[in-house]
Amino acid sequence: EIQGIADQNVTVGIRPEGFIPDENGPLRCRVSNTEVMGRDVSIVSTHSASLNPVVRSIINADHGIQLQQEFVRYAVKPHKLFIFSRETEERIPFEVK
């Protein structure tokens, strides 16, 4: 629940750098591929509720991601989260507190 947004059906978008590896995170994705890109790791994964078949996250390598793991769990950086009305497809602004 986000304060100030009416209860409605929404679509959520998350920027690739908005994912935070968290072993107790609410978002669990199946890992398809990982690629070390210098100081970052690109993780390509899937989630059954995703409209796009690919979920790409970019994680700082200092997080210690295991490159061979089958699943990864995430929390999300609120300022990298975008919410859209399913009815109008317009972005719904909200404040991060």
In sign, the C-alpha dihedral spanning 79, 84, 89, 90 is negative
pLDDT, position 25? 94
pLDDT, position 64? 67
DSSP-derived letter for residue 71 is E
pLDDT in tens, the chain (97 residues): 677 788 888 888 999 999 999 989 999 999 999 888 888 999 999 998 888 888 999 998 777 666 678 999 999 998 899 999 999 999 998 877 6
pTM of the model: 0.78
Strands (E), 1-97: 10-14, 19-21, 27-37, 40-46, 55-60, 71-76, 81-85
pLDDT, position 75? 94
